[in-house]
Amino acid sequence: MSSPNPISAKFVVAGGFGVGKTTLVGSVSEIDPLRTEASMTAASVGIDDTSKVQTKTTTTVAMDFGRITIENNLVLYLFGTPGQDRFGFMWDDLVNGALGAVVLVDSRRLEDSFFAVDYFEARNLPFVVALNTFNGQTSHSPEEVAAALQLRPEVKVIHCDARDRQSVKGVLLNLFDVILNRMMADAGQA
Amino acid sequence: MADDEVFMESEDDFVRPFLVTAGRTRSSVGDLRMETMVEQTGSDTSRLRFEAGRVMTLCTSAISIAEVSAHLRIPIGTAKVLVGDLISLGHLKTHQTIDTHQLQDLNMIQRLIAGVRAL
């Protein structure tokens, strides 16, 4: 039996297909990332306009996740989003209850992160943008990325190596900072 | 005969989700999330069979529904239905998740910060 009353917190790692979400999760997780699936039945409308028939399709999407046990049974779960926008329909479930998010970005494929940025902004979920460096190199600066993604000034863009534990820790700490600042600001307004 | 063998093998590995849940797609217990941790209550579960029994074995210590889903190779929704049933029967209890409201407690985020820093 584990010690009494563990409490869990969820964070989300979003980004395009193949950008390194699972690698990032694995760098800080105490377990090898696990894969879980959600099957969704989505009504798709208008595929065949002439027939006006609604069709239902069942899609199975995979999510990888990891776990970090903090002292006193505080358990942090990190969930990677399914890598493609067309699975956006299941993000509500994933993000419901999440405390914050990391958008992992490959600056050569910025368009892959538009969906995540828009989604978190619309939901008012605290997030940071982590610019993944491959072999220590990025083709763009954080400032360029912030401009290209049209981020609000308060959104941090930080360099990160998804394979490196210290680097990923830094990303999470930056995210916690954003959450903490927002809480203090909210408390100030109250 | 070869076909039979294949069938027997795959039967072991794969149970269609709607059979596990008797066709239900929603849990009888509300507000179960993928990160919700569940744990045995210590009730007598010796009569539980198949997937329910396997869930109970996994939940000897607190474990999230996502982990139940991953270990049993069943979709999250199916895991929620199974876990919900076991909660209704008194075999499993849920643990709290931190949501944004509870975060108003500064202590929680400070614990997260200290914990990650110490990794």
Give the pLDDT confidence of A120-178 residue by residue, as tens digits: 999 999 999 999 987 667 778 899 999 999 999 889 999 999 999 999 999 999 999 99
Domain A7-36+62-189: assigned CATH number: 3.40.50.300
pLDDT > 80? residue A24: yes
Q: How far does CA A61 lie from the centroid of its chain?
A: 15
Residue window 15-54, chain B: list those with CB within 8 Å of chain A. Answer: 17, 33-37, 39-40
Q: What are phi and psi of A160, to 5 degrees?
A: -160, 145
Query: At a CB cut-off of 8 Å and minimum separation 6, what does A81 contact?
Result: A12, A13, A14, A15, A21, A63, A87, A91, A94, A116
DSSP B27: -
Question: Domain coordinates of chain B in residue numbers?
Answer: 2-117
Pairs of CB atoms within 8 A across A/B: 126
Q: Is the pLDDT of residue A37 over 50?
A: yes
Name the closest residue on chain A to residue B72, using Cα atoms. Answer: A36
Quote the pTM value. 0.85
ipTM score of the complex? 0.85
Which chain B residues contact residue A186 at CB under 8 A? 104
For chain A, the structural domain boundaries read: 7-36+62-189
Determine the pLDDT at residue A28. 97
Could you give the CA distance from residue B87 to residue A27 in angstroms, rounded to a whole number?
A: 34
Choose the weakest-confidence range: A46-50, B39-43, B90-94: A46-50
pLDDT digit string, tens, across residues A56-114:
566 678 899 999 999 778 999 999 998 766 667 678 889 999 999 999 999 889 998 99
> Cα separation of A94 and B33, whole Å?
9
